């Protein structure tokens, strides 16, 4: 798990399974375990989370840093705190807003030297549009020249076509 953030109505995880089929099993275990504990604790039943989780492939480069930055800045953008490091339910707070706590050797790409300042750099309109499209369509978040190759290889061509295109 490279980055995470829990806010009142949803959560974000940046995870890298060793094998693609592990993600579904792991997410099922996480969600089922959480819902059972929640219902036991609060004496409730029914849905806790609405809808299925969304996932998409991220290229190991600046795209990965963009997603991590988006996740760790989420409580600030949501107006829940002024400083991401003060939001206790996130990887940013857990590592103390420094790359030292992130274990840069385990992160797939080289991190910016001042990670704390980097996460406050707003996403550009293009980055935000591309990221939201990846979330909503479960489309790859990669460089364009790599996208066609990976879509063909993984059978994900429909995730990059316009809606309604046959």
The 3-state DSSP class for residue 118 equals helix
Return left, alpha or beta for 48; rule: phi > 0 is left, psi -120 to 50 is alpha, else beta.
alpha
- Closest by CA to 68, choosing from 7, 141, 139, 156, is 141
24 lies in a domain?
no
131 lies in a domain?
yes
CA neighbours within 13 Å on the CB side: how many for 74? 24
19 lies in a domain?
no
pLDDT average, residue stretch 85-103? 72
| Diameter of the chain measured on Cα atoms | 51
Buried b (16+ CB within 10 A) or exposed e, 107-125: beeeeeeebbebbeeebee
Structural domain of 93: 57-156
What pTM, to 2 d.p., does this model score? 0.79
**pLDDT per residue as tens digits for the range 145-165:** 776 776 677 666 666 566 665
23 lies in a domain?
no
Q: What is the distance of C-alpha 79 from the center of its chain?
A: 19
Report the number of distinct structural domains present in the chain. 1
145 lies in a domain?
yes
**pLDDT per residue as tens digits for the range 35-59:** 999 999 999 999 888 777 888 888 8
Give the whole-angstrom CA distance, residue 84 versus residue 111. 17
């Amino acid at each position: 798990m490279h980055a995470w953030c829990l806010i009142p109505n949803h959560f974000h995880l940046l995870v890298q399974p060793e094998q693609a089929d592990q993600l579904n099993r792991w997410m099922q275990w996480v969600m089922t375990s959480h819902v059972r504990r929640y219902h036991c604790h609060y004496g409730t039943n029914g849905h806790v989370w609405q809808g299925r989780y969304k996932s998409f492939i991220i290229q190991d480069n600046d795209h990965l840093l963009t997603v991590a930055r988006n996740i760790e800045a989420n409580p600030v953008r949501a107006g829940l705190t002024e400083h991401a490091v003060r939001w206790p339910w996130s990887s940013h707070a857990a590592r103390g807003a420094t790359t030292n706590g992130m274990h840069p050797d385990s992160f797939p790409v080289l991190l910016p030297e001042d990670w704390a300042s980097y996460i406050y750099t707003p996403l550009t309109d293009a980055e935000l549009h591309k990221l939201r499209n990846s979330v909503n369509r479960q489309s790859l978040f990669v460089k364009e020249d790599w996208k066609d190759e990976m879509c063909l290889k993984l059978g994900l061509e429909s995730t990059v076509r316009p809606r309604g295109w046959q």
